[in-house]
Every structure is written in C-alpha cells, then in structure tokens.
Structure 1
Amino acid sequence: MKPNPSKKIDLSKVLLVVSLIALLLSCLAIYFTKSSTELVYVDVNKLIDGYSRTKVAKAEFDKKATTLKANVDSLVTSWQKELQAYEKERASLTPKELQLKQELLGNKQQQINGYQEAIQKKIQEEDKKTTQTVINDINDYVKEYGKDKGYKIIFGASGGGNIMYADESSDLTDEVLKGLNAQYDKKK
C-alpha cells in the first residue's frame, strides 16, 4: 500500500497546531506564574506623606492641639498674673494671709500642672488615633489593591531596613498612592 500524501499533510498540520497550542500554553503559564509570584513593595512613608487624608487629618489634629494648648497657656498666664500681684502686695499682708495666699497659689500651680499633663496625654492619644486611622485606610486599600492585581504579597518599605534594595520596577508606591487618593476623593 502506498502512503497517502493527504494523510501526511493532515498529520503535520495537526502536529503544528498541537505544537503552537503547547507553546502558547507554556507562554501563558510563564506569564501568569511570573506575574503572580513577582515581589513588589510600596514605600509606606511616601504613602503616608502623599495621602490626601493625611493632610486633612493633620490639619484637624493641629487645630485641636492648638486649642488645647491655648487653654493651658491662658491658665498659666492667669496664674502668673496672680503670682505677680501676690509679689506686689506681699509686704502688706499679715503672716496668716501670706500663708493662705501661698497655699492658694501652690494649689493652683499643682492643678495647672495636672491639667497640663492631662492635655499633653490627650494630644498624644489624639495624634496616635489620627495616625492609626490613616494607616488603617492605607492598609485596607493596599490589601484590596493586591487582591485586585493578583499579588500574593506586597512588602512595605519604611526606610527602617525592611527592604534594603529593590528594583524600581517593583515599586508600586506611586500607582497605589494615586488609587488611594482617588478613593479618598470619592468619599469626600
């Protein structure tokens, strides 16, 4: 029996198609494997500094802190005026009046010091709360961003030695910051 030339052509066409499909599948597998295991990072400090909400939150915090500090300053100024008045009239006071005035001034100074410490603590707590709110926003956004883009892990570089070197092509900071600010602007 003679080989049929048309069957030979069909077989070579089939082999060519199968080879092309295998090559295409290999390329797709390499692409998806590379893109899903690529190591990427964001510069956390740059995100915090460039995030629009950080500026708004800092301005609100600064306004509260200034008001609280002004309250303390007015109490201190009032106490200093009382102290100056006491110094002027001191010579004309009886020993009992002197003792009473000194106790009153001392008590008032202790109260002001206690209030000042409480205000300082409140300012620190507010600062921590404000910072944590911003960081929570960033973390939530990066988590969703990573899921949407198919990243298995996104590192956070903060200049403290977490990532000592990374190729700039692995830096997602600007892209993430752009999306983060766009999301915040929509919420306003």
Structure 2
Amino acid sequence: MKKTLILFAFSIVLISCNKTTEIKEFKTAYINTTKLMEESEESKDIEAKYKEKAKVMGNQLEAEVARFKSEAASFKENAMKNGQAWAQQKGSELQQREERLNYAQQAMLQQLQQESGVEIDSLVKSYRKVIKDYGKEKGYDYIYGTGDVASVLYAKDSYDISKEIIKMINDKYTSANKKDATSKEGK
C-alpha cells in the first residue's frame, strides 16, 4: 500500500512537472516615426506651406531691414555734417527701429512656429489613430515607434497598466502631502 501511495504521489509530481506552460507570442511591429513624417505627403505639404509663408513674411521684413540699413549707412555719412545733437537723436531713432525690427522678426518666427505646431500636432494625432486602427485590424499586440522619439504607438487595452500606475503615483503624492500638512501643523 505504501509503495502504491508513493508511486501515485511520484507520478502526480512527474505529471505536474511535465505540464508545459503556454507562452503566448506577441505580434509586434515598429514604425520609424521620423521617416513617416519625412515621407508623408501631408507632412510635406504642411512643411511647404509654412516655408512659403515664411518666405512671404520674410520678404516684407527684408524690405524694412534694407531701408534700415540704407538709413544707417547715410547716418554715418551725415553724422559729421549735422553735428553731435543731430547724431544722438538720429542714433537713438535708429536704435529703436532696430529693436522694433528684431521684435518683428521674433514675433514672425513665433507665429510661424505656433501655427505649424498646431497643424503638426493635429497630424500626429491623426497618424496615431491610423496606426491604432491598423494595429487592431492586423491583430498586432504592440506597435512601437522609433526615430527621434521612441514610444509605443498602439497596444491592446489589456496590456495598459496606466490606471494602476496613476493610482499608485496619486496615492503616494496624497500621502506625501498629508505628511507635509501634518508636520506643518505640529510646528
């Protein structure tokens, strides 16, 4: 009886050790996001649009700069002829104009960056949606992004641990704030 019981226990151990655990393979892919942005037609069109806009705006500013340079050159010639008081007043005016031109140039660059940034952000959002839909349609578990910024562009919802991480971070932040408030009250 003991031998049978030992053989039975031993066979159960062998059977449980022989069970193979099923390893699921993930279907993954990647996208070179830099190449995507460089080679997509919509991205090229946006870039061309803002290059043209910069050229038009730059031409207007260049005309102002040329007039300024011309006046600055004539200022140097006329400074000796018209005296020190005239030179100081005209020099001050030219300096103020130069500052205004610099501000105008900075404002133009900021405007172009802001406008193009909005369009590029919108483009990136639409590309992410396309990638997500493609991933779902083709049965991918993960689609990674490479290039300037590497990130996961698509993952099945079941692999998303964002809620757990956010809860953990928020709980830690809340408890740290409570400790700070308690230590401040105790002082």
TM-score, normalised to structure 2, is 0.60
* 2:66 is aligned with 1:82: no
* Aligned equivalent of 2:44: 55
Alpha-carbon deviation of 1:122? 2.1
Contact 1:61 1:130 (8 Å CA) reproduced: no
* Aligned equivalent of 1:42: 31
* Aligned equivalent of 1:134: 123
* 2:72 is aligned with 1:105: no
Listed one character per residue, the Cα deviations across residues 27-78 of structure 1 (whole Å, up to 9, x for unaligned) are: xxx9xx76xx312222212221221101111110111111222222222111
Paired residue type of 1:104:
E
* 2:104 is aligned with 1:120: no
Paired residue type of 1:73:
E
The number of equivalent residue pairs is 130
* 2:56 is aligned with 1:72: no
The 10-residue stretch of structure 1 (151-160 or 109-118) with the greater mean CA deviation from structure 2: 151-160
Contact 1:146 1:152 (8 Å CA) reproduced: yes
The 2-side partners of 1:129 and 1:162 are apart by: 21
* Aligned equivalent of 2:137: 148
The 2-side partners of 1:159 and 1:96 are apart by: 57
Contact 1:58 1:130 (8 Å CA) reproduced: no
* Aligned equivalent of 2:156: none
SS in 2 for 1:151: coil
Greater length-normalized contact order (CA 8 Å, ≥ 6 residues apart) = 1
Contact 1:48 1:134 (8 Å CA) reproduced: no
TM-score, normalised to structure 1, is 0.60
SS in 2 for 1:54: helix
SS in 2 for 1:47: helix
Q: Which runs of 5+ in 2 are unaligned?
A: 1-21, 153-187
